[in-house]
């Protein structure tokens, strides 16, 4: 969180604001150990959550931060004082003293933690400082012990707020100095807070999630609290992540943020398959989400058609390979018992041929306690890349043409939508100008534009490629030709007529339908 406020701190001069509040949309996918693959099983991991925070940039510090947090929880939210306990870094006597003074907490409810759990750092160097976490006790009926105990990973004591006291700067591994302006950075999960305020132990039982879960049950006819309860939770949670990512301009692709989105979407679709959905279903839940969250997040209302269209299209595509891929997985694991391992080359075939992200394969096998040889998967991935590079190198292409292999590696495959539509939204993944990869193409320039998906037909089998237009805001361009440069990489030969096209821009891509029909008729004749 504090990373976004580095312009405010830690320098000695005054910043534009002394303090602030924030509500953030968070998608912790792409490296976090609890997301998205464990979503739906424990009570709290989410592929999308909302983080609340208050910040001080050299204004108030520990005492005031503790006072604000305690008053909000006990006075304004009315949480029972006896249900709260805190942790502090083991050497932070100052914070412990303020908790005694302000909250009147006894020593046994101020737990000193000597590990990095209670010391936050941006990295090996940079701002850092001790933390104080506030926990809520869900009661003796829930297994688990307080923080710092052998049973701390249970569900009884749940962290709801983390106060970070940013008072040091790590200059080198050995040197740490005090900041001239100590700062405050806090984070409180909205879903966890809502569960406490609604007297629920499980985040998925709060009103927002129940509305989505009931919508899943309505579409599938499956009991939301029965044997497939986890699938209902996964779909509800991943619908939120998917919708907010698309509303913020991310579209499914095979790399970067787009691949994070695709992984989340396809995991939800696999759980819809578990619930017996024969046709695309997840997109039908979008109106319920917009009803629940559209007032707070109007971008959901604006993007509702795009969200539903993208989900339906992705579901339709994945449906074509999901069943076959699951059958292959079943055949390959028939002889494996609990504790066994799926071969890495099989996991790679599922990824490469059937569109199964690695974590989706792991998710399918988790219930049977079967692991995946991830090292073998990566080896197969590297071998495929090496073969493709060798094939390109031996093709006689010149160095400037060979750039397309690198573009393909970075941008991923282009999803072709042209069988179903002549107009689609896409996102620019790469631009090539004068034989080199560039970040933008300006008015009057002609180059090659690569998007994550396209309705444009590429020249193939004697039929010319499509022509048409690319429009992004006030920027407009004419597509005169489309070529397949490396396998499934579609490159649009584009002349910018107005404004500028940049990598990362969202586009409306429209095929010249009349010309396409004429070419198709001529080719057929």
User: Taking the complete model, does pTM exceed 0.75, yes or no?
Assistant: no
Tokens of 518: 């004429």
CB 501 within 8 A of CB 449: yes
Please list, residue by residue across 389-418, b when 16 or more beta carbons sit within 10 angstroms of its beta carbon and e when fewer do: eeebeeeeeeeeeebbbebbeebbbbbbbb
Residues 116 and 236 in one domain: no
Q: Measured between alpha carbons, how far is 29 from 237 in angstroms, rounded to an integer?
A: 13
Would you state the pLDDT for residue 400?
Answer: 52
| CA separation, residue 275 to residues 40, 232, 319 (Å) | 14, 8, 14
Residues 26 and 175 in one domain: yes
Looking up residue 165, the CATH number of its domain turns out to be: 3.30.930.10
Q: How far is CA 493 from the centre of its chain?
A: 32
The pLDDT-based confidence of 355 (bands split at 50, 70, 90) is: confident
Would you state the pLDDT for residue 14?
Answer: 52
Residue 110 lies in a domain: yes
Q: Is 383 helix (H, G, I), strand (E, B) or coil?
A: helix
Tokens of 228: 């497939």
Residues 460 and 506 in one domain: yes
| pLDDT above 70 for 234 | yes
Q: Measured between alpha carbons, how far is 459 from 519 in angstroms, rounded to an integer?
A: 11
Tokens of 479: 């597509």
Residues 422 and 276 in one domain: no
Residues 421 and 491 in one domain: yes
Q: Is 172 left (phi over 0), alpha (psi -120 to 50) or beta?
A: beta
| Tens digit of each residue's pLDDT (9 = 90 or more) over 377-411 | 999 988 877 776 665 555 444 445 568 878 887 88
Query: What's the number of domains the chain is made of?
Result: 3
CB 423 within 8 A of CB 391: no
Answer with the one of 177, 197, 217 that is the final residue of a domain.
197
| pLDDT above 50 for 36 | no
pLDDT above 70 covers what percent of the chain? 90
Residue 345 lies in a domain: no
| Tens digit of each residue's pLDDT (9 = 90 or more) over 489-516 | 899 999 999 999 999 999 999 999 888 8
Peptide bond into 296 cis (omega under 30): no
Residues 190 and 219 in one domain: no
Residues 75 and 190 in one domain: yes
Would you state the pLDDT for residue 209?
Answer: 96
The pLDDT-based confidence of 524 (bands split at 50, 70, 90) is: very low
Mean residue pLDDT of the chain comes to 87
Least confident span in 12-26, 430-444, 446-460: 12-26
Residues 22 and 158 in one domain: yes
Would you state the pLDDT for residue 408?
Answer: 82
Residues 63 and 192 in one domain: yes
Residues 85 and 181 in one domain: yes
Name, in order, each residue with C-beta under 8 angstroms of 251's C-beta and a sequence gap of 6 or more.
258, 261, 310, 425, 426, 427, 452, 453, 506
Rounded (10°) angle between helices 298-332 and 358-366 = 70
Q: Measured between alpha carbons, how far is 202 from 404 in angstroms, rounded to an integer?
A: 49
Residues 134 and 168 in one domain: yes
Range of the domain at 432: 413-524
Residue 15 lies in a domain: yes
Residue 323 lies in a domain: no
Looking up residue 450, the CATH number of its domain turns out to be: 2.40.30.130
Name the residue with higher pLDDT: 372 or 250: 372
Residue 381 lies in a domain: no
CB 166 within 8 A of CB 155: no
Kindly calculate the radius of gyration of the chain based on its CA atoms and give it in whole angstroms. Answer: 26
Residue 362 lies in a domain: no
Phi then psi dihedrals of residue 439, to 5 deg:
-95, -15
Residue 143 lies in a domain: yes
Instruction: Compute the Cα dihedral for 384, 452, 32, 119 and give only its sign.
Output: positive
Q: Which H or E run includes 217? A: helix 207-220
Least confident span in 5-9, 255-259, 419-423: 5-9
Residues 22 and 149 in one domain: yes
Question: Partners of 454 in the beta sheet?
Answer: 416
């Amino acid at each position: 969180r504090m990373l976004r406020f580095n312009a405010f701190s830690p320098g000695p001069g005054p910043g534009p604001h002394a303090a602030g509040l924030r509500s953030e949309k968070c998608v912790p996918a792409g490296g976090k150990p609890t997301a998205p693959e464990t979503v739906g099983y424990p009570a709290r991991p989410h592929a999308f959550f909302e983080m609340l925070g208050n910040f001080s940039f050299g204004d108030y510090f520990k005492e005031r931060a503790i006072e604000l947090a305690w008053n909000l929880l006990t006075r304004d939210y009315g949480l029972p004082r006896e249900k709260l306990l805190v942790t502090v870094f083991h050497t932070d006597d100052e914070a412990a003293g303020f908790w005694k003074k302000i909250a009147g907490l006894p020593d046994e409810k101020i737990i000193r933690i000597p590990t990095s759990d209670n010391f936050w750092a941006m990295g090996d160097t940079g701002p850092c400082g001790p933390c104080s976490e506030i926990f809520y006790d869900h009661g003796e009926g829930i297994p688990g012990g307080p923080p710092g105990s052998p049973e701390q990973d249970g569900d009884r004591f749940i962290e709801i707020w983390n106060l970070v006291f940013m008072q040091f700067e790590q200059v080198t591994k050995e040197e740490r100095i005090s900041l001239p302006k100590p700062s405050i950075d806090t984070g409180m999960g909205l879903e966890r807070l809502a569960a406490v305020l609604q007297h629920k132990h499980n985040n998925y039982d709060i009103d927002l999630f129940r509305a989505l879960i009931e919508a899943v049950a309505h579409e599938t006819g499956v009991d939301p609290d029965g044997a497939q309860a986890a699938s209902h939770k996964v779909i509800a949670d991943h619908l939120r992540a998917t919708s907010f990512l698309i509303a913020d301009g991310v579209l499914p692709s095979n790399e970067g943020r787009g691949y994070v989105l695709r992984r989340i979407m396809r995991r939800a679709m696999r759980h819809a398959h578990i619930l017996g959905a024969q046709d695309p279903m997840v997109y039908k839940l979008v109106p319920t989400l917009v009803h629940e969250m559209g007032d707070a997040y109007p971008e959901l209302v604006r993007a509702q058609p795009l969200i539903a269209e993208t989900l339906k299209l992705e579901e339709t595509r994945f449906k074509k390979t999901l069943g076959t891929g699951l059958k292959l997985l079943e055949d390959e694991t028939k002889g494996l018992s609990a504790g066994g391992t799926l071969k890495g080359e099989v996991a790679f075939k599922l990824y490469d041929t059937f569109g199964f992200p690695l974590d989706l394969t792991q998710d399918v096998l988790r219930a049977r306690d079967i692991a995946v040889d991830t090292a073998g998967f990566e080896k197969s991935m590297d071998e495929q890349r090496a073969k493709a590079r060798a094939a390109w190198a031996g093709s006689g292409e010149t160095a400037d043409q060979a750039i397309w292999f690198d573009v393909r590696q970075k941008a991923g495959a282009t999803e072709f939508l042209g069988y179903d539509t002549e107009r689609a939204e896409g996102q620019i993944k790469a631009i090539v100008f004068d034989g080199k990869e560039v970040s933008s193409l300006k008015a009057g320039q002609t180059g090659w534009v690569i998007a994550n998906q396209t309705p444009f037909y590429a020249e193939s089998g004697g039929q010319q490629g499509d022509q048409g237009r690319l429009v992004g805001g006030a920027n407009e361009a004419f597509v005169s030709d489309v070529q397949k440069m490396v396998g499934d990489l579609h490159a649009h030969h584009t002349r910018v007529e107005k404004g500028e096209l940049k990598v990362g821009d969202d586009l409306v891509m429209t095929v010249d339908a009349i010309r396409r029909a004429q070419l198709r008729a001529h080719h057929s004749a």
